[in-house]
Structure 1
Amino acid sequence: MRQRSTAALLLLCLYLSSTLTLNAQQPTASPNASAQNSQAQNTATDQNDPVARIKDEGLNRSQVMQTLQHLTDVIGPRLTASPQMKLANTWTRDKLTEWGLQNAHLEAWGPFGRGWTLQRFNAQVVAPQNIPLVAYPKAWSPGTNGVLTGDVVYVDAKDENDLQRFKGKLRGAIVLTSPPRELKARFEPLGTRLTEKELLELADAPDPAQRPTARRPTPEQLAQFQAIQKFAAARLQFFTDEGAALLVDPSRGGDGGTLFVQSASVAQPFDVPRDKRTSAWDKNAKVISQIVVASEHYNRMTRMIGAGEKLRMAVDIAVQFNDDDPMGYNTVAEIPGTDLKDELVMLGGHMDSWHAGTGATDNAAGVAVSMEAVRILKTLNLQPRRTIRIALWSGEEQGLFGSRAYVAEHFGTLVTNPTTAPGATAQSTLQKKPDYEKLSAYFNLDNGTGRIRGVYLQGNEAVRPLFRQWLAPFREMGAQTLTISNTGGTDHLSFDAIGLPGFQFIQDEIEYDTRTHHSNQDVYDRIQADDMKQAAVIMAAFIYNTAMRDERLPRKPQRAN
């Protein structure tokens, strides 16, 4: 009996063990996925509810990832004024037309300057040993006219006087421009979502109009900041005057092969006003070839030089400058309205990107979501009262150029008045265009791949009750937070600057600042598909609700100028 009982017990244990193992191997749905699955199952039951239909179409028959894949994998990086940017303009115009939108066209702005295309690149240390480098040229950097091989000089000068140690030693050299960046172990995840505490802090944020004026820097702080700027400008001018052949910067952030890279720098005095500065894309800009190297490789080179090693590098940069058309372009298309067709609701995001990745999270994600939102509305034949206009901007990365030009052309411009006395605050006057009073709102998406968690009200308290009602159907999908706070850095600011309602959605961070924003890792693989679907249905619902109201969205009170 004991033997049989023992055998039976062993068999029972084996059965339970295998059952537990099989259960452990089954994928566990995330809270986000569970909520979306629940929504997808429930939306099919009420076909009289436009929002339910939007959710059903957007979650169960989404095309957002196909759109995003074409923009990133097929077209690739979309630097402003580059051939890839213009290809993206025409492809999105044609796709929107295919989906049934009307008046799809490219709208020019500018002139901007030269386009730039990287044709070939390779960088490595060739002596005293071969070290292939993780690196990337800066945008608008000139090429090297074949393989450039030269001595590596590490300029570790601390101030302008210290630069004189290197006078006469940089002609034809490859220059390491900056101190190494310390890399520490990461004990926090690269990818995060907004916590309940962070969302509560956003919800409880004070009205930006009531905040005390930001404290001005002390004279000592201002002097220190200007000294840093002045030395950086003097150092770049020194490299230019001394005839350096190539400048090598460490990545400003990232590790493990991630590097962040943007535009080449142009030597000029540090105190030139912003609107008078020469940019790398200006046709007559004089620019030294420049690359960014992953910090691990850059740091090693500085240590080797410090140990007495004589380094030589071989770098091959082949580029093409595109001078045939100095203009930038926005893609614009419409779903015509009915009884309020002369009024507008707008949505969009910037389509231009930096060049080291494929501009997936910044900002093919926002473009694909915006396009998916209008596709959903057209597919469902949800006819809006107001005309819905989608705009996909270029020139955002260089300073919101595309959206600012569009707003100035269609809605209005702030014109600065001459000051009445030295030191007086400049006053400005809003010169409105006829369409200024016709726009209800503009909705923007440009904070990466993260799902929408709510809306920045941009100081417009009057829209809170409306937006709270519109977010209610998406509470189980994680979107319920409204914050009176402003947020910046993207194209809704062009509308907000002249008093028009412009909104950016609150999004989960995911890996935006830690891994993808302006980096070589900003690629399709870092996109979260479920988050994109969720964002598209919320944007579609907000656009539809705005288009169907009897009144335009309320505008916030204007500050006196």
Structure 2
Amino acid sequence: MNRFAVVIAVLVSALPAQDDAMVKAIIKEGSEGSRVMAHLNHLTNKIGPRLTSSDRLNQAADWAVAQFKSWGLDARKEQWGTMPVGFNRGPSSGWMLEPERRGLTFSTSAWSAGTTGKQKGDAVLAPKDQDGVEALGKSVAGKWVVHYPTARGRRGRRGGGNQKDQMNPAAFRRLGELCRLHGALGTITTSGQAIVRTSGRWRIKWDDLPTEVRITLVKDDFDAIVKSLKGAQGSSVVLSFDIRNWFKKGPIPLYNVIADLKGSTKPDEYVVIGGHLDSWDGATGTTDNGTGSSTTLEAARILATAGAKPKRTIRFMLWSGEEQGLLGSAAWCKKHQAELDAISGCFVHDGGTNYVAGVRGTPTQQEQMQKAFVHCKKVSAELEFNIGETGRLSGGGSDHGSYLSHGIPGYFWSQKGKAVYTYGWHTQNDTYDLAVPKYQKHSATVIALGALGVANLDKKLDRTNLRSTSERARLNRNLGLQFERGTLKVSGFANERGVGARSGIKKGDVLMQLDGVNLKGDRFVLRAAANNGEPKKKLVVHREGKPIEINVSWRR
């Protein structure tokens, strides 16, 4: 028997009967009375996508506050900032009408222009080179302009070459100028995959709103249009799009949701349990992060229904602005710096629908972690729960990073299961049906037990050597990659001999996870690469529609 098994056996034997009864009540409520899928259904199907600055996000926050209050928690919204312009996405549809009728799967960026009702027009295929684009001239007027994706070369090198099925960047810029000058209906390109990911830039001004309609199609639909255009021989290729994108004049107030289950003996100390309520709006925001929002709500309901009386206050938080860079959680930490020392730890569920399978702590936290999470192993004989050890905590990828940057222990639950995170993450596929009910029920119950366990520890979680703060260490461990703007799709290599290139990362790969941490921006790749000081890591990338594992090694 290993030393941790001995610790667990001792801890279990020492538990008072009332603690054991509470554990049984929590597990029973989580398994037999679960409402987690009802929460998720309301968020994703009744409310829908919850883009930061949208009306739907505010509706979701109001609904979440009402839910928490109905279970007896002290709940409220707290404003953390504003955005200059709001954005609401309505219904959208796209069709190729001639030479054959075909429905089109596509996306437009958030905070981008839509059409004015249905816009029907002929399509024209843009050449890949600048001279060819120049020759288009006024012919783009009133047309849908179809173009290949731009070729991206190494930083500082103009154009990056004319590779097969890629457009010269200079030609692309000139095409945009011609489309604006002569009144094209919009431009159409492809993601190059069976999925389209949604992103967007929120830093826009009401007096200078985007006006160009820019559409990204899945590969098969794009290829079908291009094939028709190349074989048209005098006949027209006719496309029709109806895209309801609406802007709302700001400033738009933005909120976090906070709900407290008050502590019995240490009410002014906290354990934070949460996920982000906002999502991208290309679908309904299930994988990222309706799943984590619903388990946060359900964990609160389970504990309240079971009559749990934690020693410390368990604070349930649903942040917004996460997808734009952890804005809501970062703003909360900055505003409440005087309260941060009272937080024992922050635990975030933001890894999709796969079940919560463990948590990792530093060497000096292991005894506390074993005690706090001992009961999580009892939830299911089938679905495991493990307590791991890591040299440093990693803040990459989600809201726990905001707390960790202030010296507060922050954790991203480890997850396992059959779901493929990349299939739904920010794509048109991210709908309610991706959630696995058994996993969601299990995760909510584990989170409830873990929250209570940490809240009842004799002391707050140990803070010794939480993370590496050396900027030199971060820079030395940089992957050496370049990314397409607003994504984690590799467009090239800043260093052809760097860690990324040596490890087998390829152009076109989309970085998804680093040692189980979901990555959501190139700044998070850098942080996650450096934060725990380990020389080797497991990177998951999305390549040609499939997740691929790559072992990445940093020189020490």
Give the alignment's TM-score, normalised by structure 1: 0.71
State whether residues 264 and 280 of structure 1, in contact with CA within 8 Å, keep that contact through their aligned partners in structure 2: no
Match of 2:218 among 290, 294, 304: 294
Local SS of the residue matching 1:366: helix
Per-residue CA deviations over 1:21-61 (Å, capped at 9, x if unaligned) read: xxxxxxxxxxxxxxxxxxxxxxxxx7641333322221121
State whether residues 106 and 331 of structure 1, in contact with CA within 8 Å, keep that contact through their aligned partners in structure 2: yes
Counterpart residue identity of residue 455, structure 1? V
CA-CA distance at 1:240 after TM superposition:
4.3
Quote the residue 2:87 is aligned against. Answer: 116
1:245 maps onto 2:216 in alignment = no
Quote the residue 1:89 is aligned against. Answer: 61
| 2-structure distance, mates of 1:165, 1:498 | 56
Quote the residue 2:343 is aligned against. Answer: 439
| Equivalent pairs, count | 437
Runs of 4+ with deviation above 6 angstroms: 228-231
Local SS of the residue matching 2:199: coil
Indicate the percent of aligned positions where both proteins have the same amino acid.
29
1:128-147 aligned at under 5 Å gives the runs 128-147=99-118
1:349 maps onto 2:275 in alignment = yes
Match of 2:363 among 461, 466, 473: 461
Q: Check 1:544–1:230 CA distance in 2 against 1; reply closer, same or farther (3 A cut).
A: farther
Local SS of the residue matching 2:128: coil
1:175 maps onto 2:157 in alignment = no
Per-residue CA deviations over 1:344-395 (Å, capped at 9, x if unaligned) read: 1111101111223211121111011011111111112211121111111111
State whether residues 264 and 290 of structure 1, in contact with CA within 8 Å, keep that contact through their aligned partners in structure 2: no
Match of 1:384 among 295, 310, 314: 310
State whether residues 341 and 387 of structure 1, in contact with CA within 8 Å, keep that contact through their aligned partners in structure 2: yes
| 1-structure distance, mates of 2:427, 2:96 | 23
Unaligned runs of 5+ in 1: 1-45, 182-219, 266-277, 412-433
Quote the residue 1:213 is aligned against. Answer: none
Per-residue CA deviations over 1:516-542 (Å, capped at 9, x if unaligned) read: 111222111111111111111111122
What is the root-mean-square deviation in Å for CA atoms of aligned residues? 3.1
1:40-79 aligned at under 5 Å gives the runs 48-49=19-20, 50-79=22-51
| 2-structure distance, mates of 1:144, 1:52 | 56
Match of 1:101 among 73, 81, 85: 73
State whether residues 53 and 253 of structure 2, in contact with CA within 8 Å, keep that contact through their aligned partners in structure 1: yes
State whether residues 149 and 167 of structure 2, in contact with CA within 8 Å, keep that contact through their aligned partners in structure 1: no
State whether residues 54 and 87 of structure 2, in contact with CA within 8 Å, keep that contact through their aligned partners in structure 1: yes
State whether residues 347 and 389 of structure 1, in contact with CA within 8 Å, keep that contact through their aligned partners in structure 2: yes
| 1-structure distance, mates of 2:133, 2:179 | 11
Quote the residue 2:298 is aligned against. Answer: 372
Q: Check 1:438–1:237 CA distance in 2 against 1; reply closer, same or farther (3 A cut).
A: farther
State whether residues 113 and 327 of structure 1, in contact with CA within 8 Å, keep that contact through their aligned partners in structure 2: no
1:520-535 aligned at under 5 Å gives the runs 520-535=428-443
Local SS of the residue matching 1:326: strand
State whether residues 261 and 292 of structure 1, in contact with CA within 8 Å, keep that contact through their aligned partners in structure 2: no
Local SS of the residue matching 2:84: coil
1:554 maps onto 2:462 in alignment = yes
| 2-structure distance, mates of 1:513, 1:225 | 35
Q: Check 1:48–1:395 CA distance in 2 against 1; reply closer, same or farther (3 A cut).
A: closer
Match of 2:396 among 484, 488, 512: 488
State whether residues 256 and 317 of structure 2, in contact with CA within 8 Å, keep that contact through their aligned partners in structure 1: yes
| 2-structure distance, mates of 1:369, 1:327 | 26
CA-CA distance at 1:448 after TM superposition:
0.6
State whether residues 150 and 167 of structure 2, in contact with CA within 8 Å, keep that contact through their aligned partners in structure 1: no
CA-CA distance at 1:409 after TM superposition:
1.1
Quote the residue 2:246 is aligned against. Answer: 320
State whether residues 447 and 512 of structure 1, in contact with CA within 8 Å, keep that contact through their aligned partners in structure 2: no
Per-residue CA deviations over 1:291-345 (Å, capped at 9, x if unaligned) read: 2323211111122223345422121223322225512111111111132211111
State whether residues 360 and 522 of structure 1, in contact with CA within 8 Å, keep that contact through their aligned partners in structure 2: yes
| 1-structure distance, mates of 2:121, 2:41 | 40
| 2-structure distance, mates of 1:442, 1:533 | 21
Local SS of the residue matching 2:460: coil
| 2-structure distance, mates of 1:479, 1:144 | 49
Higher strand share: 2
Per-residue CA deviations over 1:404-459 (Å, capped at 9, x if unaligned) read: 11111112xxxxxxxxxxxxxxxxxxxxxx112111111000111000121244xx
Q: Check 1:221–1:138 CA distance in 2 against 1; reply closer, same or farther (3 A cut).
A: closer
1:352-431 aligned at under 5 Å gives the runs 352-411=278-337
Counterpart residue identity of residue 555, structure 1? R
Pick the structure with greater CA Rg: 1
| 1-structure distance, mates of 2:293, 2:207 | 29
Counterpart residue identity of residue 447, structure 1? G
State whether residues 499 and 556 of structure 1, in contact with CA within 8 Å, keep that contact through their aligned partners in structure 2: no
Moved more, 283-292 or 220-229: 220-229
| 2-structure distance, mates of 1:326, 1:167 | 40
Counterpart residue identity of residue 303, structure 1? K
State whether residues 361 and 512 of structure 1, in contact with CA within 8 Å, keep that contact through their aligned partners in structure 2: no
State whether residues 359 and 414 of structure 2, in contact with CA within 8 Å, keep that contact through their aligned partners in structure 1: yes
1:508 maps onto 2:416 in alignment = yes
